[in-house]
Amino acid sequence: MTALAQNPPAKLPGPGTETIHSVAHVKQGMEARYAEVSAQAWALYRKLDLVLERPHVVLRGVDAAGLPYFVEIFTWKSADIPDHAPPEVLAIWKQLEDACEKRAGRPGIDFSEVTAVAVD
């Protein structure tokens, strides 16, 4: 059996969904807190059935100034969800934002809608 047959590529998100790419400019010293709340947020999204299980990618890096940031990519099941998020999601977003700061004229958490081209 080939590797592809053993691990077929995931389906691309369908119409009506919203895949996002976010960059969180985390305050120095708040990395562990941000990671903890981010994991809680993901668990809440899954519990409330708001997101697709895949793709979900979380990355951590350090920018040219030595400041920490996190990147997250995932897909909302509906493009309406972020604009009409339930109160418990709004509360956890506040915690995430509190661990972040504006940088280079960008918000603490900078979201962009993207389109998945390939997902493994």
Query: Which CATH number belongs to the domain containing residue 21 in this structure?
Result: 3.30.70.100
pLDDT for the residue 9: 57
Which residue positions in the chain have pLDDT lower than 70?
A: 1-10
pLDDT for the residue 11: 73
pLDDT for the residue 79: 94
**What is the value of pTM for the model shown?**
0.87
- Domain of 99 in residue numbering reads as 17-114
pLDDT for the residue 8: 56
- State the helix-helix crossing angle for 31-47 and 87-98, rounded to 10 degrees: 170
**Residue 8 maps to a domain:** no
Number of domains in the chain: 1
pLDDT for the residue 91: 98
Cα distance between residue 21 and residue 112, in whole Å: 5
